[in-house]
Amino acid sequence: MAEEDPVATFQSYLDISPFQRWLAIKAEEVGEGHLVTSIEWKEEFVSNPHTNSMHGGILASLIDLGGLYAVLSTKSVATATVDLRVDYHRPVSSGRIRATSSIVKLGSKVSTAETRITNAEGKLVASGRGVYLMA
């Protein structure tokens, strides 16, 4: 019997969430405590049509969920985000962006994960951390 493809498995986990389906998040890579996701530019993500820049809330969403699923990739169960911190480095105005998430510290009560988001040219556009409550 075939082993399940972890990327397909995580894609199905991500797609459970209606908001994540709306974002059209794609699982790209999955390792233990490590996850890469991506989203494609959508007009509905725009914050300011004059500068055509992506809303900070979209980038914050990727950091929140990226960290949570990075915890899940260790087979640990996180039940909620305790807090989230996002640093915005450059505006995003087009193309696919990739979020690379990894565990900073896996704990029994809370865990910390960080995510770096790069644009189509590989430049860092936002980064940050979430702390998650463990089951």
Binding site for a copy of itself (CB under 8 A): 16-20, 22, 43-49, 55-58, 60-62, 64-65, 80-91, 104-105, 107, 109-110, 112, 124, 127-129, 131, 133
The H-assigned helical ranges of 5-95 are 6-14, 18-23, 56-72
30 versus 63: smaller Cβ distance to a copy of itself: 63
**Angle between helix 56-72 and 6-14 (nearest 10):** 130
Phi-psi domain of 9 (left: phi exceeds 0; alpha: psi -120 through 50; beta: other): alpha
**Are the CB atoms for 97 and 120 separated by under 8 Å?**
yes
Smallest gap from Cβ 69 to a copy of itself, in A, equals: 12
Smallest gap from Cβ 116 to a copy of itself, in A, equals: 9
30 versus 128: smaller Cβ distance to a copy of itself: 128
1 versus 68: smaller Cβ distance to a copy of itself: 68
Q: Residue with structure tokens 């699982």?
A: 27
